[in-house]
Amino acid sequence: MDRPASPSARLEPSGAPATQVAVAPGERRWALVLMLAITTCAFMDRAILNTVGQAIRDDLGLSDLQLGLLGGVAFSLLYGTLGIPIARLAERSDRITIISVSVGLWSAMTALCGLASTFTHLLIARVGVGIGEAGANAPVQSFLSDLFPPDRRGTVIGILGLSVPIGIVVGGIGGAWVAEHYGWRAAFLVVGLPGLLLAVLARTTLRDRRQKTIAADVPGIRSVVDTLVASRGFRHMIAGAIITNFIGQAVLAFGHPFFVRSFNLSYTEGALYFALVNSASVAGGYMVGGYVVDRFVRRDLRFYGWIPGVLMLLAAPFYIIGFLQTEFWPALILLAIPGVFSASYYAPVLAVTQNLVGSRMRATAISIVLLAFNLIGMLFGPVVAGALSDVYFRHMLPTKLSASACANASPDIETVCRIASAKGVAYALATMCLLFVWAGAHYLASTFYLRRDLRHMRTIKD
């Protein structure tokens, strides 16, 4: 990963020389490792709610809709909308400073989630986590994209994507264990602490070598948007990514409750199996989308769309059949496979985004893409899944039994309610996964335009 880029690989989309920074191989590797740790910390802080969500629901008496709001609206509203102004600042300012402050803020707010005593308090704390994380993703990717040439950015994005499975394993299993033995509040406190150390490490060991500039020298948001939207291939890629992320956020929010409710598992057992289902397969998906796609696009740029397009069509049946299983082992096996398929979109979409724009536009372009993800995916994915789950739950109850009667019910009624709740979340997730077919169609449609839109990359050589 540390071989120098060839001159032909150092062209910006405009044809001007790129601002790829000359750094020592060791410094480049350390930057990638530390940024992977930071993005992993972000995902741990983001995913801890999914892990201990069932415990919070039981303790605070929440509905699935409220649980979906905590995982969706509370986090993504400011996470998405603040991303663009912070990215604009990152185009002309020290990105390491921005990243360090952001890590410290979201880690502190995660710890404060453990002090919440009501739904409203927890909602406010989750908004704070979203504010902090708004300043990390785009500056991180913009910083690393200046260290690596265009034909290796997909691999770098794929490596950063490993933060998802690592966060699931470390934060998911560890957070569930802490929640089961010490309570869900302690889990938030424990998960929030590592980010404070990472903030200090980033600030003291990394340098942003890109020259600072004034705002007037940075292309405007309109210019960035026009560059992206002018690409028909990008429009199809981002549409597919929005749909994929919409489904993915729903699965992340309710995958753990699915295992707990459907197979009568403890919180720790549910987190363990959910982590096993996601970690290895999702890691494979990010590497397929990053490392493998980078190798294939050297032959034909249309592989940016071909690979995720075909894999989305394969993901749908595995997920749907898996969520409809009533036996534990068939469900676990079926759901362990399609993460390789569904996670393959991430690196190609962001690699196409980065390769369409110049260095002073990348943080803004990435933030726009992430805003599109979050406005639809994080904002509505968990909420829609939660609402569907509540609808299916009520439909599964006997005619004379209302949902409100399940609270403090007799053992017999409690069993009926538990079965209805398990079927509700299973049917909701299966319904959401039908949309993978729609996403796959968009990725495949992008291949009609990507060679033309990325023609400046045809000079890239091995």
The predicted pLDDT at position 432 comes to 97
The structural domains of the chain, ordered by start, are 22-459 (1.20.1250.20)
State yes or no: pLDDT of 457 exceeds 70: no
pLDDT digits (tens, 9 = 90+) for 369-383: 988 877 788 778 988
Cβ(205)–Cβ(30) under 8 Å? yes
Percent of the chain with pLDDT over 90: 37
Residue carrying the six token digits 């009533």:
326
Contacts of 179 (CB under 8 A, 6+ apart): 51, 52, 55, 186, 187, 267, 268
List all residues 6 or more positions away from 160 whose beta carbon is below 8 Å from its beta carbon.
Answer: 35, 36, 39, 140, 141, 144
Residues 6+ apart with CB under 8 A from 120: none
Q: What is the mean pLDDT of residues 185-207?
A: 91
Average pLDDT over residues 67-94: 80
Percent of the chain scoring above 70 in pLDDT: 90
pLDDT score at 216: 55
Contact 122, 70 (CB under 8 A): yes
| Per-residue confidence (pLDDT) for residue 295, from 0 to 100 | 87
Residue 427 has pLDDT above 80, yes or no: yes
Contact 261, 280 (CB under 8 A): no
Q: How many Å apart are CA 386 and CA 69, to the nearest integer?
A: 9
Radius of gyration for the alpha carbons in the chain, expressed in angstroms and rounded: 22
- pLDDT category, 215, cuts 50, 70, 90? low
Question: According to the 3-state scheme, what is the secondary structure of the chain?
Answer: CCCCCCHHHCECCCCCECCCCCCCHHHHHHHHHHHHHHHHHHHHHHHHHHHHHHHHHHHHCCCHHHHHHHHCHHHHHHHHHCHHHHHHHHHHCCHHHHHHHHHHHHHHHHHHHCCCCCHHHHHHHHHHHHHHHCCCHHHHHHHHHCCCCHHHHHHHHHHHHCHHHHHHHHHHHHHHHHHHHHCHHHHHHHHHCHHHHHHHHHHHHCCCCCCCCCHHHCCCHHHHHHHHHCCHHHHHHHHHHHHHHHHHHHHHHHHHHHHHHHHCCCHHHHHHHHHHHHHHHHHHHHHHHHHHHHHHHCCCCCHHHHHHHHHHHHHHHHHHHHHCCCCHHHHHHHHHCCHHHHHHHHHHHHHHHHHHCCHHHHHHHHHHHHHHHHHHHHHHHHHHHHHHHHHHHHHHCCCCCCHHHHCCCCHHHHHHHHHHHHHHHHHHHHHHHCCHHHHHHHHHHHCCCHHHHCHHHHHCCC
**Mean pLDDT across the chain:** 84
- Which pLDDT score is estimated for 74? 67
For residue 20, report the phi and psi dihedrals to the nearest 5 degrees.
-60, 125
The residues near 81 (Cβ < 8 Å, ≥ 6 apart) are 134, 371
Q: How far apart are CA 103 and CA 135, in angstroms?
A: 8
Q: Please give the average per-residue pLDDT across 26-47, as a whole number.
A: 88
* Cα 432 off chain centre by: 17
Residue 93 pLDDT greater than 50, yes or no = yes
CA–CA distance, 182 with 164 (Å, rounded to integer)? 25
- What pLDDT score does 212 carry? 67
Please give the single-letter amino acid code of residue 178. V
Residue whose pair of structure tokens reads 């982590």 in the numeric block: 275
Instruction: Using the Cα atoms of residue 192, residue 38, residue 243 and residue 434 in order, give the sign of their dihedral.
Output: negative
**Contact yes or no for 153/354 (Cβ under 8 A):** yes
Residue in this structure with the two tokens 């260095």, named with its chain if needed: 359
φ/ψ of 87, rounded to 5, equals -65, -35
pLDDT confidence tier of residue 20, bands split at 50, 70 and 90 = low
Return the pLDDT at 3.
40
